[in-house]
Amino acid sequence: MALESHRLSILNDDEIEDLYGMPRFTDEDRHLYFDLSPAEKAAAGAIRTASVAAHLILELGYFKAKRQFFSFEPADIEEDLCFLLNTYFPGRDVGDIKMPSRPTRGGLQKTILELCDYRLCGTDAKAEVDTKAQRFAMLSTEPIFILREILQQLEINRVVAPSYSSLQDVVGKAVSGERTRITELLSDAMTPEVRQRLTTLLEADEQIYTISALKREAKDFTYGELRREVSRREFFEPLHDFAVTFLVSAGLSQESSKYYASMVKFYTVYKLQRMQRPTVQLFLLCFAYQRFRQVNDNLTDAFIHLVNQYEKQAKAQSETAMQKALEDALKNIQAAGQVLGLFVDESIAPEVPFSEIKDKAFSLLDREQFPIVSDYMRRIAFDKSAFEWAYYGTLSRTFKQNLRHLFVTLDFAGRIENAPLVHAVHFLQDLFRRDKSPRQIDPALFPVDVIPKHLHRYIYVPSEEDRRRKVIEPDRFEFLLYRMLRNALEAGDVFVQESTEYRRFEDDLINDEKWKNRDGILSDLNLRLLSAPIEDTLAELEESIESLLQRVNQRIDDGENKHIKLKGKPEKRRWNLLYPPSDEPVNSPFFSQLPGIGIADLLWFVAGETSFLGGFTHVLDRYVKHDPDPKEILACVVAMGTNMGLGKMSEVSGLSHSSLMSTSRNFLRPETLRAANDAITNAIAKLPAFHLYDIQDAMHSSSDGQRMETQIDTLNARHSPKYFGLQKGVSSITLVANHVPVNAKVIGTHEHESHYVFDLLYNNTSDIRPERHSTDTHGTNQVNFIILRTFNHEFAPRYKNFPKKAASIIGFQQPNQYGDMLIKPCRRVYDDLIIKEWPNIQRILVSLAQKDVSQATIVRKLSSYTRQNSTKRALWELDNLCFTEYVLKYIDDPNVRQGIQKALNRGEAYHRFRRAVAFVNGGKFRVKTEDEQHVWNECSRLIANAVVYYNTLILSRVYERKLASGDEQAIELMRRISPIAWQHINLFGTFEFSPSTSILDIDALASLYFDPTFWLNTLKDQGEAPPR
């Protein structure tokens, strides 16, 4: 049981050791840090005593490495001292070197500070640190953020960092001071109405506390769930309106607001009621602010989803009606012939009234079939749109019930060019808010200028009073408006201001005030493409593309490109690419002969090797009454990662359900699981075998989505008959590099994977930094090439129909300038537009580096085909140039294509592995919220990373031995052995999470492979080593 501490828990033991622990040098480190400049040699030479001079060089080297001074015993420095004596004091022995006195050491440290131009953190420096810490706390109250910023400022100002406990106190004081500042401002600013509403949140009716009901999230888009979501919005609206003004005036950042809001989710109502009133009022206000915007996003999502649903229903019904009309026409064509025969029937006297002939005709063919058969005979196409709009009348009762209350609740705004639509929206909203129906309004008052001309024939119908006069059909007009509003929301032309996903695009960009310091921001980002003149970038692209066009076509004409297949006559040649194979077997036989190991023992072993358990920090920063129990954390990880759940885990592990619930609530969050995963992936990256999996000497990653069925409805779970039949599900997108799952995200199946490609790469917090990234066609859009290139990633997707995509490349000359080239541009680039819009493009790309809004949100808006302006067209044009350069390289180099295929295969292999890990309950999610989906997915990733670490460690031991013996053939074979293997891992059965008493000997396992018979058996079905 840990003592309750007033100090913030910021770093784990390993992180503290990394900052303040004495350096442990390798020979390479000693050559680096004990190398002396002329000034340093002079300082050492000026000291008469060899012992003192040696300690100066020793402490100088340690200071260069850690920017700290250390206390040590002679045994701690023996190896370093031997190196120094051999280098600078030949003939001296370690026994000759004595430890300097305290005053002497003080003098040495002063000399070192002068040589390195550093100073100690004295009174003035500490006061400066306190001031900056308070400023950093205004940006974010996350202690780790404040600490990192302080350490960075100390380094910039060349000040030696004070002790960790001193920094804990500084950060703690800043966090407390910021909270006090905000609560005092809030107490002064609150109106009686706001104060009362905040108090109401912690009151209860006969069944449930108000805050508990308001914390609940909508499960789906049914009418009842959405009505409750609307009610939540109505309650939060006055608090949100107050918070909008207060948060700005108080200088509270979005990060801090989200942090305070999360406290409401963590604490029970009981604990909230017993907190200091100003603190809980701050938490509740921030929660109301964040929840209101989330509800707006949810309601807008629901509106778009339902409009799509009704539109699909109408289109499906019109398709069915067209097929039926065709069948009826064909079935009645014989009767139509008989009707025509009446006009040449000699038995019918000329004086017979036409009414009798009509009666005879209707007896042969039903009256209602005449228009259908007539249109068919005259080859007039069936008007599906007419039926579709008529069907909306059938749906009117349904869409009025489900859409009107959403439409009335949300506040829409738009751009000047969308004024007619916004005016029409406000017109209809005003009617509904006054409890009036469009049928009660004079049709002449309708804002008809919003109706597209090509739809007039469907929206206007004959008047009941005068069939010759056309009037607006109100239900059709209403749905037309909903459909146009849906399109405008998706395009970003109309927005919901108080939301996150659907606010103005300009609000997602770096604000005007910050952008005034454009040069400083570009300098800090240090991104070459953004800092270079756009004219230089275009010149480089022109040189590259034009030379590639010549090379690619010349090699095709000369027959040097053996992987392109030509068809047709010379004047109408068509082509296709042949793809070289790229296989890396999953569940390689290399691991099949190893002794089995249980998942609990494996996790304990990996925890000892990587210290990933240090990533599980308590949700509270201080006053934590006990340390986490490692076995409970591991049990929770396995329970969630395998889809078993905590209830079943308590039964098979002997751990109490209440303790598992408490541990998961306190320690398992997306951020702690990400930290734990990073600890393992960083350890994998340091293993010798890791770079065996580089593709063409580069770190080549891929991302792809894996569909997972959900058993409990959540808003992001959607129907997808192809994957889930009649059920719903979500998609988990994973970034895989060198077989390691380095980042992942759960999204709805309705969301486009391409919007999350950069998000996954940019928000990858591990040390594994891919240089090249591949996706399939689903990962492509109009901006990913230029975005990834800006942030130093090469985008290399695999297209489904590559020749078709290649037909859209562009060049710096008109197409006729390229003669009869097989591969040539379809048009000239609009380079003038790119140059003109470059400052605006810079601002957009810089905004992607912000944390205020998700990268996926900006990419989604940039990728929208609907909304076009000159800046977006210029950005797309720049992307097209990057795409063109890539296409030409892809055609010319089979190694590029093979590498892309290999990277994508690794992603598919991880999906199969993850499916095996999350095996319980058929791999279906059994969670109630989107947050829980992320937690369970991260737990699966952690288990997978642990297995990959274990396998890569064994491979590394074998690789080092083969490398030392010069066995190149074995090394080449090992490049094809994937660490994605689990046949030797026991994921089933009972679980014992107490630390194992037996020690896992990796060297002993690795030594098995040095037996020739064992080695040959492990390589069965592995195949010959491919040329590299």
pLDDT at 467 over 80: no
628 is a domain residue = yes
On whether both 595 and 665 belong to a single domain, the answer is: yes
Contact between 784 and 801 (Cβ < 8 Å): no
358 is a domain residue = no
Question: Lowest mean pLDDT: which of 215-219, 223-227, 745-749?
Answer: 215-219
On whether both 804 and 890 belong to a single domain, the answer is: yes
On whether both 912 and 989 belong to a single domain, the answer is: no
In degrees and rounded to multiples of 5, residue 764 shows phi and psi of: -75, 115
**What's the distance, CA 849 to chain centroid?**
13
* 902: nearest Cα among 695, 670, 750, 626: 695
What is the DSSP secondary-structure string of 911-938?
Answer: HHHHHHHT-GGGG-B--SSHHHHHHHHH
What is residue 744's three-state secondary structure? strand
561 is a domain residue = no
Q: Is 572 exposed, middle or buried (0-12, 13-18, 19+ CB in 10 A)?
A: exposed
On whether both 104 and 24 belong to a single domain, the answer is: yes
What is the rounded CA–CA span in Å between residue 944 and residue 939? 9
On whether both 782 and 667 belong to a single domain, the answer is: no
On whether both 593 and 664 belong to a single domain, the answer is: yes
pLDDT at 726 over 80: no
Tell me the two tokens of residue 594: 């190893």
On whether both 760 and 844 belong to a single domain, the answer is: yes
pLDDT tens, position by position, 926-959: 888 888 999 999 999 999 999 999 999 999 999 9
Question: Lowest mean pLDDT: which of 173-177, 180-184, 299-303, 364-368?
Answer: 364-368
What is the DSSP secondary-structure string of 771-840?
Answer: SEEE--GGG--SSHHHHHHHTT-EE----SSHHHHHTT-EESS-GGGGTT-SS--SEE--HHHHHHHHHH
824 is a domain residue = yes
C-alpha pair distances (Å), 374 with each of 331, 354, 568: 13, 19, 44
On whether both 86 and 59 belong to a single domain, the answer is: yes
317 is a domain residue = no
pLDDT at 915 over 80: yes
On whether both 20 and 91 belong to a single domain, the answer is: yes
Total Cβ atoms within 10 A of residue 356 = 10
pLDDT tens, position by position, 254-264: 878 888 888 88
C-alpha pair distances (Å), 565 with each of 557, 824, 900: 12, 17, 20
Look up residue 767 and give its amino acid: D
Q: Is 706 exposed, middle or buried (0-12, 13-18, 19+ CB in 10 A)?
A: buried
136 is a domain residue = no
Of the residues 889, 904, 921, the one at which a domain ends: 921
Look up residue 656 and give its amino acid: S
Of the residues 892, 921, 950, the one at which a domain ends: 921
CA R_g for the chain: 35
| Greatest mean pLDDT among 155-159, 587-591, 721-725 | 155-159
Which residues are paired to 702 by β-bridges? 736, 774
* 787: nearest Cα among 888, 868, 855, 718: 855
Range of the domain at 114: 13-118
Number of domains in the chain: 3
What is the rounded CA–CA span in Å between residue 430 and residue 226? 21
How much is the pLDDT for 385?
83
Res. 218 pLDDT band, cuts 50 70 90: confident
How much is the pLDDT for 659?
93
pLDDT tens, position by position, 105-116: 999 999 999 999
Of the residues 905, 921, 937, the one at which a domain ends: 921
pLDDT at 408 over 80: yes
424 is a domain residue = no
Tell me the two tokens of residue 49: 């005593």
Which residues are paired to 925 by β-bridges? 710
What DSSP state is assigned to residue 964?
Answer: H
How much is the pLDDT for 1025?
39
pLDDT tens, position by position, 873-906: 999 999 999 999 999 999 999 999 999 999 999 9
The whole-model pTM stands at 0.82
pLDDT tens, position by position, 136-161: 888 788 888 889 889 988 988 899 99
On whether both 916 and 942 belong to a single domain, the answer is: no
On whether both 882 and 759 belong to a single domain, the answer is: yes
**What's the distance, CA 659 to chain centroid?**
32
pLDDT tens, position by position, 780-827: 999 999 999 999 999 999 998 899 999 999 999 999 999 889 999 999
CA angle 586, 674, 139 (to 5 degrees): 150
253 is a domain residue = no
Residue bearing the bigger pLDDT, 589 or 424: 424
What is the rounded CA–CA span in Å between residue 251 and residue 577? 58
On whether both 32 and 96 belong to a single domain, the answer is: yes
What is the rounded CA–CA span in Å between residue 957 and residue 687? 9
Contact between 45 and 37 (Cβ < 8 Å): no
What DSSP state is assigned to residue 1010?
Answer: G
Instruction: Give me the half-sphere count of Cα atoms (radius 13 Å) on the Cβ side of residue 873.
Output: 10
